[in-house]
Amino acid sequence: MQKFGIGQSVKRKEDNELLLGEGTFQDDLNLPGQAHAFFLRSPHAHADIESIDNARASAMPGVVAIYSGADVTADGLGTLPCVMDAFIPLTRPGGIPRYYPPNPLLPEARVRHVGEAVAMVIAETPAQARDAAEAIDVTYRDLPCVVETDRAEAPDAPTIWPEAPGNLSFFWEHGDKSATDEAFDKAERVVSVDLINSRVIVNPIETRGALGSYDEAGGRYTLHTNTQHPFETRAIVAEILHCEESELRILSPIIGGGFGMKHMVHIEQPMVAWAARKIGRPVRWMSERGEGFLSDTQARDHVTHAELALDGEANFTGLRVRTTANLGAYVSNLGPVSPSLLYTRMLACAYRTPAIHAEVRGVLTNTVFTDAYRGAGIPESAYVVERLVDKAGRETGLGAVEIRRRNVILAAQMPYVSPMEITYDSGDFEKNLEDCISFADWFGFPQRRALAHDRGKLRGIGMALYVESTVGDTNESITIQFNDNDSVTLTGGTKSSGQGHGTVFSQFLHETLGVPFEKIIYEEGDTDTLPQGGGSGGSRSTYMIGVAVKMGADKIIEKGKRLAAHLLETSEADIRFSDGNFTVAGTDRSIDVMALAVAARDAAKLPEGMEPGLDESAQSEVEDPTIPNGCHIVEVEVDPDTGALELETYTAVNDFGRVINPQLLEGQIQGGLAQGFGQAIFENCIYDPESGQLLSGSFMDYCLPRADDMPEFFLTNNEHLTEQNSFGLKGCGEAGCIPSVPAVVNAVLDALAVRGVETIDMPLTPERIWRAAQAS
């Protein structure tokens, strides 16, 4: 096995850049002559803009320009689009077309959520821009608002958009309704739950930013912005600016976390590019943390009633789900896809439930718009199913393990087509379950519970199975370039936000072409370097780039065999390639790929008709998703007197197919688990129902998990290779946050069962746990 090849825990190349400050992040970028932007944001959740007076602000020191909605309209700029129709056309009841409201760069007449930008101030310094923004006099007429998901369609709720009566944007239906209704009619038992999947604020370490410039002579924009998807950002921003994509270059630097939020285009990106052209100077904007709370896309926010039908043997026969999903005041780029298709198609989870039907109502409220966040709909579906399954285990008396054993999809049933039309091509869900039970010592838990009781604590254990379907652009591009300085540049169309793309993709190139690992330079984030790129999201990057690298390497090997045969004076049929060496079969005569690349640049050494150089490009196309899966078990302890919750141990058995870099895989899982714990226990996005104000608008009021909140982890893998790509690997980036939320909530409910607690909503704060325990 090669030291730096597939399957090795190669140390991440990017650590010095990411952790020691040696890399260039968005806030490190500056251009000569730049001005600075600041956005004045609405203090109201819903209000008419009666007037905007810039006179005093315009006269303040350093002010270069001030723009409002009227200026944007005068220049004919577009609005932020929702591109959902390219994925799936949604409707409302009766076949009425869905309603996606226009999302203006700056509104002219009305604001619809706290934090909506109403003016852009450009000045010589950030402080001057902020001071001038505070001097703008905006007169508002306050309007009633609605922020609560379950209140959006209430008869007395204010209408946010006249085109959306009842604040309904779309109605989505998925599955076989008649078969599901029949299953419930015949059921021996029906288990039901009412759940709130709480709203979260993404909060990556690095905030968003944008630096725009315009070359008047060349007629071309350049936008430096920390986006996960440079190519889609280019397409959307070009549409808004009414320019050709070739007239816009996107450059994305190192990203300090994105989690889906930085995949989306926000208003500040096209605004700085447009403003740069207007004033003839680069314009720079960097979000403050408080701005991020008010303007970054948020996520989750479902209210659900779900029912599970069982026969007399406790076999699942039907699943019925009714969900209301909060889209916010506008509809983000991909806002409706997570709560509709991505959510409902995974409701089978790991169980052979023959009939499933789901309905989702996407509603508009006076809140920041929601969009994809790590897992994008699948954590929400797993939460519904695993809460139901655990309750079924309690009500039947079978318990959490036996109810799952009776209903889990078996390896012999693979490939398995779920009722929601997703094919599970490979995996052994039963083995994941049994291994996790063994590693977690599930049946030794009563003794640990008794010891906790002696210390005055309530100990609980919970589990969750999960199945994910990775998604994203089905095409990906790479180039492989041999440089004069004996290095090789690999360029890819995805965009890392800290995962270690440069390391993993270099392992692919080392494995397939034998290029020395230390000679490989990975580049990404520049739309001028490739014709197309799929960006980072949906746990797609590793297998999409891996396949493309292999395709490019195969092209180089074929060309290299011809050149090697010419240089070694033999027949091409006699050349063998292995571990970076082209060798004449049966001899010790060979030339390595790096030396061959040097020779390939010398026209005098080439066979007749061969183009100079070994450089190649490739584009992968992988239509079918991969299906990561696993079982997670967590033990918790609760102090009934204070409600304090401790995560004690966490055991996870996952199937990611072939593992490329075990160390980086473990980091991805732990990071996802931390985010799941955050939603389950700590994070609480709260809008005041009367004023629409975001009450959790800073880290004083919005809690994130810290290192000392993490439990002891035991993580292992069952490798079942997929045939969906040539390496047999499955995406891993989102898996940790999918089962961790229901596992933790199930464990807490298990701990509180002795107090008669049957249900509890996230986040599991000490107050909420204490109140539940005391009330019961």
Q: Is the confidence at residue 702, as pLDDT, over 50?
A: yes
pLDDT tens for 238-292 read 999 999 999 999 999 999 999 999 999 999 999 999 999 999 999 999 999 999 9
Neighbours of 713 (CB within 10 A): 14
Collapsed DSSP state (helix, strand, coil) of residue 298: strand
- Report whether pLDDT(1) > 80: no
Q: What is the mean pLDDT of residues 107-117?
A: 98
CA distance 341 to 328: 18
Say which DSSP state 594 is in: H
Q: In the predicted model, what is the mean pLDDT of residues 110-114?
A: 98
- Closest-CA residue to 210 (of 341, 64, 355, 31): 31
Confidence of residue 775 (pLDDT cuts 50, 70, 90): confident
Question: What are the pLDDT digits (tens) for 336-378?
Answer: 999 999 999 999 999 999 999 999 999 999 999 999 999 999 9
Q: pLDDT at residue 476 above 50?
A: yes
SS (H, E, C) 441-495: CHHHHHHHHHHHHHCCCEEEEEEEEEECCCCCCCEEEEEEEECCCCCEEEEECCC
What number of CA atoms fall less than 13 Å from residue 270's CA on the CB side?
A: 29
**In the numeric block, which tokens belong to residue 336?**
């409706």
Cα angle 401, 403, 407; round to 5: 115
594-630 b/e with 16+ CB inside 10 Å = b?
bbbbebbeeeeebeeeeeeebbbbbbbebeebbbbbb
CA distance 517 to 664: 17
Q: Which tens digits make up the pLDDT trace of 557-589?
A: 999 999 999 999 999 999 999 999 999 999 999
pLDDT band of residue 87 (cuts 50, 70, 90) is confident
Phi, psi of 533 (to 5 degrees): -155, 150
* Residue 506 · residue 241 · CB < 8 Å: no
642 vs 664: CA distance, rounded Å: 38
Identify whether the C-beta of residue 102 lies closer than 8 Å to the C-beta of residue 182.
Answer: no
d(CA 773, CA 776): 5
* Average pLDDT over every residue of 752-768: 96
Mean pLDDT (whole number) for 588-594:
96
End-to-end CA distance of the chain, in Å?
58
Say what percent of the chain tops pLDDT 70: 100
The burial class, CB within 10 Å (0-12 / 13-18 / 19+), for 102 is middle
Q: How far is CA 414 from CA 61, 237, 406, 424, 722, in A?
A: 69, 43, 17, 7, 11
**Residue-averaged pLDDT of the chain:** 96
What's the Cα-to-Cα distance from 193 to each of 306, 308, 723, 759, 770, rounded to whole Å?
Answer: 5, 9, 37, 8, 21
pLDDT in the model for residue 745: 98
pLDDT score of 465 more than 80: yes
Q: 382-419, pLDDT tens digit by residue? A: 999 999 999 999 999 999 999 999 999 999 999 999 99
In a 3-state reduction of DSSP, which class is residue 306? strand
Cβ atoms of 512 and 550 within 8 Å: the answer is yes
Residues in the chain: 776
pTM confidence score: 0.96
Of 684, 690, 700, 696, nearest to 45 (Cα)? 690
As a whole number of angstroms, the distance between CA 289 and CA 239 comes to: 28
* Distance separating alpha carbons of residues 437 and 579, to the nearest angstrom: 41
Q: How far is CA 335 from CA 159, 330, 504, 654, in A?
A: 20, 9, 30, 29
Q: Where are the beta strands (DSSP E) in 565-666?
A: 575-578, 581-584, 590-592, 616-621, 629-638, 645-655
Could you read off the pLDDT of 117-132 as tens digits, one per residue? Answer: 999 999 999 999 999 9
Q: What distance in Å separates the CA atoms of residue 421 and residue 135, rounded to the nearest whole number?
A: 56
Which of 242, 250, 387, 363 lies closest to 308 in space, CA to CA? 387
Residues 725 and 547 sit within 8 Å (Cβ to Cβ): yes
CA angle 305–734–749, rounded 5-degree value? 45
Statement: residue 602 has pLDDT above 60: yes
d(CA 375, CA 712): 23
CB-CB contact of 7 with 237 (8 Å): no
Cα(79)–Cα(315) distance, rounded to whole angstroms?
A: 50
Q: Are 80 and 330 in contact (CB under 8 A)?
A: yes
- Read off the pLDDT of residues 18-53 as tens digits, 9 standing for 90 and up: 988 899 999 999 999 999 999 999 999 999 999 999
CA distance 12 to 3: 14
- The tens digit of pLDDT for each residue in 279-310 reads 999 999 999 999 999 999 999 999 999 999 99
Cα within 13 Å of Cα(39), Cβ side: 32
